[in-house]
Amino acid sequence: MSVNCDITFTLNGVARRLSVPLEMSTLELLRDQLGLTGTKYGCGEGECGACTVLVDGVSVNSCLMFAVDCDGRELVTVEGVIAGATGQRLRDSFVEKGAVQCGFCTPGLMVQATHLLARDPAPDEETIRRGIEGNLCRCTGYRKIIDAIATVAQGEHHG
């Protein structure tokens, strides 16, 4: 029998209070309990970045974080990222640059890119490359992804 714990946190700007099993991951909480399926299950082991979310503004692999550890934190998922101006520019830029093929890596990459641009609004190519190195893409070879992020960075930097 699983033991539950009450948690209170902010999810995409909305205060939430939930009861979650102690062994549940944040990824399971988002996808299975809350229906936020934009966050993807890839490896389940912290290796692929498909499950990336922002926790207190820092990118985290949600498959490695227990749901109970969301207590008192501020979570933003790809659904929340897309609702913001930077997220919308990233989404448009990913499409324009052909950085989306199968699309499985795209939500995690957009969250990661949002984190990167929040820390450094004008990253050079090497900084972008290093910033997304934990997010694996099997399809694109990364060139188009880097171009898409760089285009948004240039736009943000120049206003």
Binding site for ligand FES (CB under 6 A): 41-44, 46-51, 61, 63, 100-105, 137-140
Give min distance, CB of 111 to ligand FES, in A.
Answer: 12
CB-based contact 145:132 (threshold 8 Å): yes
Instruction: Output the smallest distance, CB 82 to ligand FES, in A.
Output: 17
In angstroms, give the least distance from the CB of 139 to ligand FES.
3
Cβ-based nearer residue to ligand FES, 93 or 140: 140
One-character DSSP codes across 74-90: EEE-HHHHHTSHHHHHH
Question: Tokens standing for 11?
Answer: 């999810």
- Give whichever of 129 and 156 is closer to ligand FES, judged by the CB atom: 129
- Can you tell me the distance from the alpha carbon of 66 to that of 120, in angstroms, rounded to the nearest whole number? 29
Question: Helix, strand, or coil here: 42?
Answer: coil
Minimum CB separation of residue 134 from ligand FES in Å reads 8
Helix (H) or strand (E) holding 60: strand 58-61
Nearer to ligand FES, 61 or 151 (CB): 61
**b/e string for 5-31 if b means 16 or more Cβ within 10 A?**
eebebbbbeeeeebebbeebbbbbbbb
**Between 47 and 56, whose beta carbon lies closer to ligand FES?**
47
